[in-house]
Amino acid sequence: MDATLYKDTKVSRGLNYHYFYSPATSGYPTLLLIHGFPSSSFDWHRQVEYFRPKGYGLLVPDLIGSGGTSKPEDPDAFRIVRIARDIVDLLDAEGLDKVIGIGHDWGSTVLSRLANLYDERFYAYAWNAIAYQPPRLQPIDIDTLIEHLSAKTGNEHFGYWKFFNLSDTHVLCERNIDSFLQLVFPTYPEVWLEWFAPVNKFQQWVEENRTPGIPEWLTQQEYDVLKKALADAGLQSMLNFYRVAVNNLNLPDDKQIPEEAWTIRKPALWVAALRDATGSAWADNIEKYVPGAKTVELDVGHWVQFESTERLNAEWEAWIEGLGLGGATAAL
């Protein structure tokens, strides 16, 4: 991604956001691409390289805690509704009235709150690997959640959340950064079933400093960029996404969202990663809360934008073209 197209702006709550912005050619919509953990706007570089020459606008922020964006240590700063407000501030900074919102991983959760609270700013939504997340009215008990999912699916799904909530997790993972990254970006998706999702296994992997190598769908150059970005940003701030969830800091905000805003009425795309050991836990939300969504199933793991780049780009493009925005964006 062209470094000269990155900008910095201060959002309304005083944090600095670093983001890539390339304006749309006349008649084309802007795509808002929201990444997840533990990376940065670079997650989307293959999609930027595909859509930018075609005339699409692209707004691709480094989320709070990552890249060149502010890295507060207070978990309260990571409440999802506050991050959603930050993203709207970026839209305002660039004079963007409406965009197509696209999320992955924690970016999918942020996109969900944007849909609930700022639906008028969007033409459509696309969730990738992690589905739409409705507001939660009951507190999470992480042990109960893990036990429930294990009984339901045979997969603990979120056992790693316990490790990510320990006070010194960032120290261990930064010290063994290759081991950490090579589990997050596994050589094949089923590694997550054994080493990522179950309680205590992620910690064991990193403590043993396992380094099986990088997956075939990542180039060495991409891996080096991901590693440098993580080394520069550190993990301490970014892990607050998990602390906020486990400590139920989003609960008061979620309770303020009216129930009529939970169901998504705008056009939507759900890209399901069939071999993602964590994302499948929320797939039912699409049928329940996004009834008109188009569903695309990919036989890959969590990192759809890397593992199935050409198919993902083609599916996005066909779906976007089907929205009928070309040449009429200003009128909608």
Average pLDDT, integer, range 284-302: 94
pLDDT range class, residue 213, cuts 50, 70, 90: very high
| pLDDT given for residue 326 in this prediction | 62
Selection from 6, 44, 46, 8 nearest residue 22 by Cα: 6
Q: Domain 3-323: state its class.
A: alpha beta
Residue 305 has pLDDT above 70, yes or no: yes
80: burial class by Cβ within 10 Å (0-12, 13-18, 19+)?
Answer: buried
Q: What residues does each domain of the chain span? A: 3-323
Choice between 64 and 277, residue whose per-residue pLDDT is larger: 64
Rounded to an integer, what is the distance from CA 41 to the centroid of its chain? 10
H-run or E-run covering 6: strand 6-10
Average pLDDT, integer, range 257-277: 96
Average pLDDT, integer, range 235-250: 96
Contacts (Cβ under 8 Å, ≥6 apart) of 183 = 191, 192, 195, 196, 202, 205, 206, 210
Which DSSP state fits 214? -
Taking each helix axis from N to C end, the angle separating 177-184 and 220-233, rounded to the nearest 10 degrees, works out to: 120
| pLDDT given for residue 153 in this prediction | 73
How many other CB atoms are there within 10 angstroms of residue 137's CB atom?
10
> Collapsing DSSP states into helix, strand and coil, what is residue 190?
coil
| pLDDT given for residue 145 in this prediction | 84
Whether the model clears a pTM of 0.75, i.e. scores above it, the answer is yes
Tell me the residue length of the chain. 332
Selection from 156, 117, 149 nearest residue 254 by Cα: 117
Selection from 93, 101, 103, 105 nearest residue 121 by Cα: 101
Phi–psi pair at 33, nearest 5 degrees: -110, 120
Taking each helix axis from N to C end, the angle separating 106-117 and 80-93, rounded to the nearest 10 degrees, works out to: 70
Which DSSP state fits 257? S
Contacts (Cβ under 8 Å, ≥6 apart) of 159 = 146, 197, 198, 199, 200, 201, 202
Contacts (Cβ under 8 Å, ≥6 apart) of 211 = 178, 179, 182
**Euclidean distance between CA atoms 128 and 305, whole angstroms:** 9
How much of the chain, in percent, has pLDDT values that exceed 90?
88
Rounded to an integer, what is the distance from CA 191 to the centroid of its chain? 20
Amino acid sitting at position 41: S
Residue 45 has pLDDT above 50, yes or no: yes
DSSP string, 220-238: HHHHHHHHHHHHHH-STTT
Phi–psi pair at 243, nearest 5 degrees: -65, -40
| pLDDT given for residue 330 in this prediction | 37
Contacts (Cβ under 8 Å, ≥6 apart) of 84 = 110, 113, 114, 117, 118
| pLDDT given for residue 65 in this prediction | 97
The structure tokens listed for 115 are: 């849909």
**Euclidean distance between CA atoms 172 and 183, whole angstroms:** 14
